[in-house]
Structure formats: C-alpha cells, structure tokens
Amino acid sequence: MTVTASAPRAPSRRVRPLRILLHVFLTLVALGWLLPLALAVYASLRPYDETARLGYFSLPEQLTLDYYTQAWSQAELPRYYLNTLIIVIPGVVLTLLLASFTAFAIARLRIPGRRTLLIVFTAGNLLPPQVLITPLYTVYTMIPLPAWLSDSMSLYDSYLGLILVHVAFQFGFCVFVMANFMRTIPEEINEAALVDGAGVWTRYWRLTMPLCRPVLAALSTLQFTWMYNDFLWALVLMSSGDKLPVTSALNNLRGQFFTDYNLLAAGSMLVALPTLIVFQLLHKQFVAGLTLGSTKG
Amino acid sequence: MDQRLPISRRHLLLGAAATFGVPAVLAGCGSDSPAPGPGGNLGTVTIGSNASDEIPKKTLDTVVKGFTQATTRINTVDHNTFQENINRYLRGTPEDVFTWFAGYRMQFFAEQGLAVDISDVWQEIGADYTQAFKDQSTGVDGKQYFVPFSYYPWAVFYRKSLWEENGYEVPATLDELTALARRMQGDDIIPIAFADKDGWPAMGTFDIINMRMNGYDFHVSLMQGKQSWTDPKVRQVFDTWRGLMEFHQPAALGRTWQEAAQSLAQKQTGMYVLGMFVAQQFPEADRDDLDFFTFPEINPAYGTDSIDAPIDGYMISAKARNVEGAKALLKHFAQASSQNIATELDPGTLAASSKADTSGYSALQKRGAELVSKATHIAQFLDRDTRPDFASTVMIPSLQSFVSEPDEIDSLLASIEQQKANIFR
Amino acid sequence: MAAKTRRYSARDMAVLVIGLGVAIVVNVGVIWGPALASIGLSGTDWSGIGPIEWVGGQNYHDLAAEYPPFWSAVRNNVLWLGFLALVATPFGLFCAVLLDRRLRLSRFYQSALYMPVVLSLAVVGFIAQLVYSSDYGVLNSVTGLSVDWLGDSSVNIWVVMVAAAWRHVGYVMVIYLAGLKAVDPALKEAAAIDGASERQAFFRVVFPTLRPVNVIVLVITVIEALRAFDIVYAINRGRNGLELLSVLVTENIVGEASRIGFGSAIAVILLAISVGFIATYLSQMFREER
C-alpha cells in the first residue's frame, strides 16, 4: 500500500514534546471525566445541612463517612446485593449460552432463513423496553409457577421472570456481536471437523466456543453492567420490596418529601462499586474482547 | 383480553394447594393458621407500605408492633415506585392492607373493584373522625374504603424572625399580599419562594388560588372534569397567578422544592406556599422560628374557607386473603394512640383522628390542626383530586409551561381542555 | 460462495431445533409477541383495569394534534441521535486513537473515561443536579453565571446531552480501542515506512479495517439514542424541554396514569422508527456481504 506523504519525516519515534502534549490532553480529559464523580464522592462526605447552606462548591467544614454506614444499613444493601446476584449471574450465563449457539447456527451453518433470524433478533434488542411493558405484565401474571420457583406463584414478582426478560432482551445484541465474531474464524476449522464427521454440537461446543473466549469475556462484562444497572424491569415486574435488585432498592433512600441527597450519593457510590470493580478486574478481557472480530472483517 | 382469567386461575391454584395440604407460601407463614376465633388470633395480615424513608418506616413499625390480634408482615417499596406501580400492584399480588391516599385517588380504585368495602369498620371508628374525613374516605357508591391515618395542611410558610426584623404583617387579602411582596422586593428579599422542577409543587399554588377565587365546589368539579378549562373563571385564576409571578423566585423549573425551602430557611426568600413537610428542611434549632398563615382571601364570597390538606391512610385490597385480620388492623390504625406515635416521630404530620392527643404537638403542629379545624372544605391536592393520568400527563407539563411562559394563557387552556376531553371520555 | 446443502444427522437436527427453538420461543414470547400486542393496544382506550375499548386511530390523532410533549420528544430524540453520532462517538474514537499506543498511565485514562458507563441512574441524576443546579450547582458557582441550566427549556436539552455524551464516550472508546489493538501492527508500520503521517495512516489504512467495529458502534449509538431514558428521567422525569419518546411512553404506561392505549401508540411510533432503522441497516449489511 503506498501512501504519498506531504511532508517527509523521520518515521521512527515521535518527538518528545508531542508526547507531553498528548499526556496533558489526556490528563485534562480524564480529569474532566472524573470531576463530576469526584464531586459526588465529595458531597457524600459532607453533611446535608452544610452543603445546603454553602452550596456544593465550597470548602468543607466537616467530612464524615457516616453516610456510608447509614446507607449500608438503612437501605439494607447487603440483602439487595444478593438479590442482584440471584438475577444477574443466571441472566448473563443463560444469555451467553443461548446467544452463542444461535450465533453459531447463523454464522457457521448455512441454515435457511438465517438472515431473517439475525435481523429479527437484533431488532428485538433495539426495541425500547417500554414498548413491551403492558402485554408482558399481563402475560406474566397469567403464567403460574410452582411455589418452590416463585413465592408469588406466578412469573410476575419472581426472580425467574426478571431473569427471563433480561435474557430475552440482551440476547439479540449478543447474537449480533458473536455472529460477527464467528464469521471471522477461518472456515478451515469447520471444514476439517466436517471431514472428521463431527456433529453440530461438537463443532459448536468443542471447536467454536473455545475460540470465542475473548468475545464471551467482553460480552459478559457488558451484560453484567447492563443487567446490574437495570431498574425498569424490576420496577414493573416485581412487587415485593424485599426481592428488588440493589439498583432499584437504592430508591429506599429517597423519601416522599425529604431526600438527603448526600446520603443518596453515598448509597449510589456503594451501588456503583461492584460494576467498577468488575471493570477494573476484567479490564484486559474487556479491551481484548472484540479484538478478533475486528481484524478480519 | 380477559383480566379475570389469571385471577381465577391463581385462586384455583391456591385452592389446590390448600386441598393437598401444601403450605401456601403465597400467604406467608400464617395462611394455614386456624380460622379467626373471637378471642384474638387472626392469622397473618400482610401490609404493603410505601413508607420507605426512615421516619415513616419507623412509625409504621412501631404502630404495627402494638397490634396483637394477628401477626403482621410488612412489604416496603419506596414511595415513588409504590405509587407508580399501584395499578399493576393491585391487579397482581397485593398485600392485604396497603397505604394509599384519600379522595378521588381512593375512589378511582374503589370504583374499579380493587378495594374492599369497609363500611362496617367505619360504624365502629366513625365517631373518631369529622365529617370531612369521612367524606374523603367514602367512594362514589357511598361506602367507605379508606381509613385516614395522618395528614398535613398546605399554607404560606415564613420565618418569624425575618418578619419581625422587617416589621412585616400577615396579609389578609390579595392586595395586602401584593403590597407586602412589593415591600419585600424593596428590602432585597425575593418575596415568594418557588420551585417546580418535580412538577407537582406548582399545583399547590393553582389549587389555592382557584379555591379562593371560585370556591371549593367549582374546584372539585373542575378536577372531576365537569367544568371547562376555557371557562373565564379558570382564566382568571391564571391571570391572578401571572400577576403574582413577578414576586416569585425566578428559574423555578430548575429548582427542587428542597432548594426553595433552603432559600426560605436562609432568609433569601420571604414566604413559601408549601405543605407542612417544609419543616423537614429546617435544622432542629430553627423549627420554632417557622410559622405560617393561610393563603389570603381573594373573593369575599369564599373567604378562606378551603385549604389543601392531603390525607394518608390505609385500604384493603380486593385480593386480600385475610379480610378479617385486615379490618382489625385498620381499626388499630384508626386509634388515636396509634396516630399519636406518628405525630410524635414526624413533626410534619397531624393525626387524622379527632380523638388524638394534641398536647404533645409542637407549636407548628398545633397551629396546623387549628387551621384545618377552621376550614369548611378540605381538598386533597390537585394530583389526588383528579384522575392520575390527567394530573401527571396533562397538568404537570401544562403548569410547567405556564411557569415558563405566563403570558400564553389562552392557548394553554385550550390545549388543556382538548387533552382533558381525550382523557375524561 | 455457492451454498452447499449439507445433510445433518438426526442428532444434529435435534440439537439445532432445540437450541434455535428455545431462542425463538423466548424471543417471540417475551419480545416480539408483546411488541405486536402493543400495536393492538395502541388502538384502544384502556386504563389497565376496566374494560378495553376500541378507538381505532384516535390515539394517534390525539398524539399528533393535541399532545404538546409529543413533537418536542420527537425533536429531542433526533437531536440526541445527532449529538451522539456526530459529537460523542467521534470523540470516543479520537480518544481511542490517542490511547492506542504504549503510554504510561494509559490504563488510568481508560478507566477514567469508562467510569461513567457503569454508573446507575440515581447517581447520574444526582451528579447532574450537583453540577447544573442554578442555586447550589458547581457550574454556576465556578463561572459566576446564574443560568437555569436544568429549568430553562431552551438550554436544558443541551446540557443533558453533554451528560449523556459523558457516558457514551467511554463506551465507544473502549470498543474502538479493542478494535484498534487488533489492527495488524505491520499495516501501520508499512504506512509509516512509506512516510505517511499518522493522520493519513489512520484514515487510509487503519480506519477501513475497523469496519466491523464501526458497525457495532453505530448500532450501539442508535440504541442509546432511541432508548435514551434514564438521565432525563432522573433529572426531571423528562418534562419541560427534556421530553423523549421513551419517557412519554413510561409516563403514560408505567406511572399511576395508566393511559395504556395512548402510551402504546407512542410506543408503536418508537417501535416503527427502531424497526425501520435496524431493518434497513442490517439488510444493507447483508447485501454487501454477499
């Protein structure tokens, strides 16, 4: 590939000053991005009547961690974290299983109607969730469940119902990404397996899935974040306050009339913590995630 | 779509569960306890509560602890979510007893058959309530569906110390109010604190001007969709309000009521039309300095005979599994001693029962009770006196649009009237 | 490539039918079934409790002619899409390009940019209040202005879009960064040896290879724009200049209001836009592929 250069320059390393400029720019951007969050943390450390008096942009008279302990106990966060796990972990696992198989069928097997399927599934993910609320609610109240699965004895107000809606909703996006990714895996692997007479399941589970590890890691991080942050479905499809996931339960810190915003800030920080930790821990997988999918398009 | 199908199916399931001796988890641990006997054990009563903040939650816990006839289980959902979900909640798997509001908001659900008639409870507790409270608990069919627990009046709040310093006096008429506001402006004080970011506080101002000007009956029938919003009487309300706009704190649509209340506490503003809960924004030490007066007279024909004083209380859901226990619990809530627990813990509320002990009231609470007892008519606040869909999807955007462009009254009222026709079909 | 029909064994067929069957059943039962039912509901007047009354196209008429928030919502959704696609997404790409080299502190920059993505509704709403509040907010304190950022309906949509972009940039940046890392370094080196400036190398060599990533980013941007909801909902429930279609649907359906027929009509419009967009786009993509 030939590219004509207008101003020939030393092709090796860039000059130092430019690198400094780069750092300055990136630092400014990063600080600009962190500042609002830092303000929220700062507010959560100050008593409400102080910030109400002085405004949020002022020097502190008093800094305290009280709000954190208060949020932790008043909103009973530990229990709600557990609820979230009960919903999100099966949600992510099921979504990825179902989506990877579907993507495999669409991308690697020449099944008829695969294009329509992909369009239908992906478009399903694009739908605004609000569109589905009323019919979904009605259907959920009509589907009975045995008591051991749901103490409300229906899909409405049950963990299973929430998991199901998350799986169905996130499924489309995952199929889209994974189908894209799988198309980039060299055909030869499949061809070789075919010669060996491997079945569909073997080709999916033994041959394709191991190659999908990076994209699975990326998607699970994303899906975890999305399902974790969802509050709409829990609001609409749950009626027991003690079964709500943590994101929705945060509202318990909001009063009818009086809301101590600084307490709410502390609570929000506690709720945001798990997703921040997941991102930090899985950072590498996350960034590497879509790698293969983007090279050989 | 047949809404009854799921219900009957669920009942069938429940029946099956009971027949086969499977413990019905649905009704909690108490559902298989013996049938209600005369002496006391009424099984388990479940309560759906919106009392998620600390103080109301503590209040409910304490009150319910005093109820010995049955075991209780409380399901708390935050206030906002509870309200948003009420429709689905009552059709889904509601608790036996649930927290709700008096007036039209109660009647709306009673009419749909989602609440249990508790007229028999009222025969016992009726003597503890004034007629106004009973009316607010009565459905359109003349039966009672609601037990009032606590309420709070709306008025014009101010700081006594600020008024004393400047020699302001409580205005008795609209003209006096205007004159006072002018004086405050001269003293570099914003006369009327105002905030409408959340959309509902401005309703309080509309309500009170309308009731002062056109009387309670007109207000109620306007709320019920029976009057036209293009009526000159309504236009006059907005005209009067527009006349007061120059005294209102500017940029109200970006301000929360909490921030406006803070401006009152810091003496940047002179007065504030709000509910008694404004007290919660005042530090403990300053609360004695907070006082109020009722919105001044506009039309002598009505004087100051009406106020907004929303009532909170309890109802029984139509799907309740333990109606006997629930009724016993409602009677417990109706007791003055129960309500006094609330007034003691929460300085922003008053006890609904006329038998309640007011000796423990703070100065502000005493004045509040006095204000309400003097009023001939008690309204419930715009969003409780009309259809919820009309209040939230039409009135909130409309009042906000009035606040940002007070001059466009005619087109606004025409638009409200049009939208009203689509809702009150 | 000619499509070769392969024969599958009975077991293969069973696996396929079960796997795809579950996927289709879940998707139709939970997503498309209810979505179609919404279309039906949009022709009715229903409070969610009483009887359902058929009113035909009445809701659509009321919506377009007599519901002032509707057109501002349409306008805002379009603005939102434009802002994310033309400002936030390119900025995310720009940051990704800057970060795609051996840099000290690179990890820190990435984390900082990505941070807002994982924050929940409550905290973003709270932060917006913190920054933009006219009396107590930081922005006015620092600049000495007294602009009513959130209340003035001619400015609030812009500042809220900035908040939305705040979240969107990090997201886009991470995805592009992943894509860039995968670009064969030999390509860039070759371009550099040819004497191309960094900018030229990017636009002529690197960017074209990013096509699959662009697809994903574009889809995400559209999803975010059409689904935009939580920020405005947290700030003032999407009123007074911050109307969005998704919020109007919620306001009419989810809230106590329960104007289900009317809300469904708004939902159907949103649905039509979404489906229209995605179908055109996806079929386009497939056509190219063949």
For residue range B85-137, list pLDDT tens digits in order: 888 888 888 999 999 999 888 998 898 899 999 999 999 999 999 888 999 99
Rounded CA gap, B356 and B353, in Å? 5
Q: How far is B57 from chain C (nearest CA, A)?
A: 21
At B44, the pLDDT band (50, 70, 90 cuts) reads: very high
Asked if B25 and A240 come within 8 Å (Cβ–Cβ), the reply is: no
Q: How high is the ipTM of this complex? A: 0.81
The residue-averaged pLDDT of B30-55 equals: 67
Are B172 and B303 in contact by the 8 Å Cβ rule? The answer is no
* Same-domain check for residues B171 and B250: yes
Range with the lowest mean pLDDT among B1-5, B311-315, B334-338? B1-5
- Going by C-alpha positions, the residue among C12, C30, C164, C186 that lies closest to residue C87 is C164
In a domain, B8, yes or no: no
- Say if B289 is an interface residue toward chain C (CB within 8 Å): no
A234 vs B81: CA distance, rounded Å: 10
B49, β-bridge pairs: B76
pLDDT at A291: 45
Q: Between residues 79 and 98 of chain A, which touch chain C (CB distance below 8 Å)?
A: 98
Element (H, E) at C53: strand C53-54
Neighbours of chain A (3+ CB pairs under 8 A): B, C
Of A145-154, A258-267, B4-13, C7-16, which range is least confident?
B4-13
Nearest CA in chain B to A153: B26
Q: Which chains border C (3 or more CB–CB pairs < 8 Å)?
A: A, B
Find the residue in A nearest to C192 (Cα). Answer: A11
* Cβ-defined contact of C49 to B401 (cutoff 8 Å): no
CB contact under 8 A, B87 and C236: no
3-state secondary structure of C152: coil
Over 90: is that where the pLDDT of B227 sits? yes
Looking from the CA of B369 toward its CB, the CA atoms found within 13 Å total 22
Going by pLDDT thresholds of 50, 70 and 90, the confidence category of residue C287 is low
**How far apart, in Å, are the Cα atoms of B119 and each of B141, B146, B282, B380?**
11, 9, 40, 21
The answer to whether B59 contacts chain A (CB < 8 Å) is: no
The predicted model gives C159-185 an average pLDDT of 86
Cβ contact A118:C279 at 8 Å: no
* pLDDT mean across residues, chain B: 87
Please state the rounded mean pLDDT for residues C36-42: 92
Terminal CA-CA length for chain A? 18
Identify the residue with better confidence: B13 or B378.
Answer: B378
Distance, in Å, from the CA atom of B211 to the CA atom of B378, rounded to the nearest integer, reads 10
DSSP code, position B249: P
pLDDT digits (tens, 9 = 90+) for A85-96: 999 999 999 999
Q: Is the pLDDT of residue A1 over 70?
A: no
> Is the Cβ of A127 closer than 8 Å to some Cβ of chain B?
no
Q: Which residue has the higher pLDDT, B202 or C179?
A: B202
pLDDT bracket for residue B189 (50, 70, 90): very high
Is the pLDDT at B26 greater than 60, yes or no?
A: no
pLDDT at B40: 60
C256·B263 Cβ contact <8 A: no
Q: What pLDDT does A71 receive?
A: 85
B190 sits in which H/E element: strand B190-193
Residues in chain A with CB shorter than 8 Å from the CB of B93 are 152-154, 156-157, 239
C62-66 long-range contacts (CB < 8 A, ≥24 apart) are C62/B419, C62/B422, C62/C262, C63/C262, C63/C265, C63/C266, C63/C269, C66/B415, C66/B418, C66/B419, C66/B422
Asked whether the predicted pLDDT for residue A256 surpasses 90, the reply is no
Q: Which of A169-178, A183-192, C262-271 comes out lowest in average pLDDT?
A: A183-192
B79 and B96 inside one domain: yes
B201, B257 Cβ separation under 8 angstroms: yes
Q: What is the pLDDT of residues B174-186, one digit of tens each?
A: 999 999 999 999 9
Over the range B174-193, which residues count as b (16 or more CB within 10 Å of their CB) and which as e? beebbebbeebeeeebbbbb
Mean pLDDT to the nearest integer, B381-394 = 90
Nearest chain A residue to B85, by CA: A236
DSSP state for residue C204 in the 8-state scheme: I
**Whether C151 and B114 lie within 8 Å, measured CB to CB:** no
Mean pLDDT of B344-364: 89
Least confident range of A58-62, A103-107, B9-13, C284-288: B9-13
Q: Is B412 left (phi over 0), alpha (psi -120 to 50) or beta?
A: alpha
Query: Residue A175's closest CA among A230, A231, A134, A115?
Result: A115
Closest CA to A123 of C212, C277, C284: C277
Low-confidence winner among A31-35, A285-289, C240-244 (lowest mean pLDDT): A285-289
Look at residue C1 in the predicted model and tell me its pLDDT. Answer: 38
What range does the domain containing B229 cover? 154-308+387-423
Q: How many CB atoms lie within 10 A of CB A73?
A: 10
CATH number of the domain where residue B340 is located: 3.40.190.10
B17 in a domain, yes or no?
A: no
Lowest mean pLDDT among A49-53, A191-195, B361-365, C103-107: A191-195
| Extended strands (E) in A221-275 | none
Where residue C84 falls among pLDDT bands split at 50, 70, 90? very high
What pLDDT was estimated at residue B291? 94
* For residues C267-277, average pLDDT: 83
Chain B's closest residue to C63, CA to CA, is B419
Task: Determine the Cα–Cα distance for residues B132 and B105; give it in Å rounded to an integer.
Answer: 16
Q: Greater confidence, C280 or A267?
A: A267
Per-residue pLDDT reduced to its tens digit, A49-103: 888 788 788 888 888 888 899 888 877 888 899 999 999 999 999 999 999 999 9
Please answer yes or no on whether C95 and A229 come within 8 Å at the CB atom: no
Are B242 and B221 part of one and the same domain? yes
Pure H helices in B66-148: 79-91, 104-111, 119-125, 131-136
Average pLDDT, chain C: 84
Q: Is B352 inside a domain boundary?
A: yes
Select the more confidently predicted residue: B273 or A129.
Answer: B273
Which pLDDT score is estimated for B1? 34
Q: Hey, where are the domains in chain C?
A: 76-243
Total number of domains in chain B:
2
Q: How far apart are CA A57 and CA C77, in angstroms?
A: 32
Interhelix angle B174-186/B232-245, nearest 10 degrees: 20
Question: Does the residue B370 lie in any domain?
Answer: no
- With a cut of 50, say whether residue C268 has pLDDT above it: yes
Residues B45-80 have pLDDT tens digits of 999 998 877 788 888 999 999 999 999 999 988 887
Q: Tell which residue, B92, A143, A150, has the closest CA to residue C33.
A: A143
Same domain? For B287 and B325 the reply is no
pLDDT, position C284: 66
Which of B164, B137, B91 has its CA nearest to residue B330? B137
* Interchain CB distance below 8 Å, B10 and A251: no
Residues B299 and B326 in one domain: no
Nearest CA distance, C81 vs chain A (angstrom):
14
Instruction: Check pLDDT > 60 for residue B416.
Output: yes
> What pLDDT sits at residue C288?
58
Q: Are B57 and B51 in contact (CB under 8 A)?
A: yes
Q: Do B276 and B328 sit in the same domain of this protein? A: no
Helix (H, G, I), strand (E, B) or coil at B210: helix
| Residue A155 pLDDT > 60 | yes
How far does C202 lie from chain A, in Å, by closest CA? 11
The C-alpha atoms of residue C260 and residue C239 are separated, in whole angstroms, by: 19
Instruction: Confirm if A108 and C6 have CB atoms less than 8 A apart.
Output: no
**Contacts of residue A49 in chain C, CB cutoff 8 Å?**
none
Cβ <8 Å between B262 and A53: yes
| Residue B153 and residue B350 in contact, taking contact as beta carbons nearer than 8 Å | yes
* pLDDT band at residue B389 under the 50/70/90 scheme: confident
Residue % of chain C over a pLDDT of 90: 29
Angle subtended by helix axes C156-182 and C121-132, to nearest 10:
130
Q: How far is CA B297 from CA B160, B210, B217, B243, C85, in A?
A: 21, 11, 16, 16, 56
Cβ <8 Å between C257 and B114 = no
Predicted pLDDT of residue B9: 37
Please give the order of strands across the beta sheet that includes B350-351.
B71-76, B44-49, B97-101, B311-316, B147-151, B350-351
Q: Domain map of chain A by residue range?
A: 16-64, 69-295
Pick the CATH number of A69-295 from 1.10.3720.10, 1.10.10.10, 3.40.50.410, 3.40.50.1220: 1.10.3720.10
| Amino acid of residue C137 | G
CA B386 to chain centre: 12
- Residues B399 and B391: their CA atoms lie apart, in Å, by 10
Q: What DSSP element (H or E) covers C178?
A: helix C156-182
- For residues A199 and C285, which has the higher predicted lDDT (pLDDT)? A199
Q: Report helix, strand or coil for A198.
A: coil
Distance CA B62, CA B49 (A): 14
Mean pLDDT of B204-214: 97
CATH number for domain C76-243, candidates 3.40.50.300, 1.10.3720.10, 3.20.20.140, 3.30.1490.190: 1.10.3720.10
